[in-house]
Amino acid sequence: MTDADLWQAMKEIGAVWEHSGNPQAPHVVLRNNRRHSNGFVDTLQFLSNVSNLEVAAFALAKKLSRKLEIKIDWVFGSPMAGIPFATANARHMRARKIGFTEKVDGKLICRFDIPPGNNFLIIEEMTTTGRTPQRSINAVLEKNPEAVPLDVVGAFLIRCDDHPPELLGREIISLVSLPKLGINYSEWTEAECPLCQTGSMAIDNCKRVWKSLLRTMREPTYIIA
């Protein structure tokens, strides 16, 4: 499947919300940077289906294997949605070990002991800026300073370029790249948000009201309780 095919499949399964354009329709607050936006992607709506997860993991593993052409010692996923996707990828890439970072008091930490010289690969289900995978790399290296981070990061979907500045020169290998598909959702601070200025309600933690939020694409004036 191409990235366009996967994106269409995600839309059909209800994993993509886009503002209707009606000023009365609500909009979302992004969790990672608290900015307001007219678009949101919930990858778990797609990847929580085991068949979809396996197909996506196999496809990404093939792309990563062609790029790396080396044996992978460790694959790490970030909490929480990235862990099952990273685990499925590790299996297809025949990695020796699977690990994950944890969020403690807002900071990512690693509890795994990696032998000196072992390499590790970070795999995300989605990244908006590249900041989270870099935080995961930093967490692994803080615990294991002699481990070797690979020069690429794997991701199911990205909302940034392949070489975001937050990743300090590393490349993201993805299955779905929204910039390459020409999809660029707007983001604003609360003070700058034009949707707020028209009276649109800002929805925080939109995953908790996901079905209701999707309904606003068809019925812009639907009130989310």
For 67-111, what is each residue's pLDDT tens digit? Answer: 998 999 999 999 888 999 999 999 999 999 999 999 999 899 999
Token pair for 92: 């297809």
Question: Is residue 37 domain-resident?
Answer: no
The whole-number pLDDT of residue 8 equals 97
Contacts of residue 80, defined as CB under 8 A and 6 or more positions apart, other chains included, come to: none
CB 77 within 8 A of CB 85: yes
Q: How many CB atoms lie within 10 A of CB 224?
A: 13
Would you give the distance in Å from CA 33 to the centre of its chain? 13
Expressed as residue numbers, the domain containing 153 is 47-177
Q: What is the pLDDT of residues 12-46, one digit of tens each?
A: 999 999 999 999 999 999 987 789 999 999 999 99
- Please tell me the total count of domains within the chain: 1
Amino acid type, 107: K
Question: Is residue 182 domain-resident?
Answer: no
Residue 113 sits in a domain whose CATH number is: 3.40.50.2020
Question: Is residue 201 domain-resident?
Answer: no
The whole-number pLDDT of residue 106 equals 87
Q: How many CB atoms lie within 10 A of CB 19?
A: 21
Question: Is residue 173 domain-resident?
Answer: yes
The whole-number pLDDT of residue 1 equals 78
Question: Is residue 197 domain-resident?
Answer: no
Q: Decide if pLDDT at 195 tops 90.
A: yes
Question: Is residue 88 domain-resident?
Answer: yes
Would you give the distance in Å from CA 96 to the centre of its chain? 24
Question: Is residue 216 domain-resident?
Answer: no
Question: Is residue 166 domain-resident?
Answer: yes
Confidence at 117, pLDDT banded by 50, 70, 90: very high
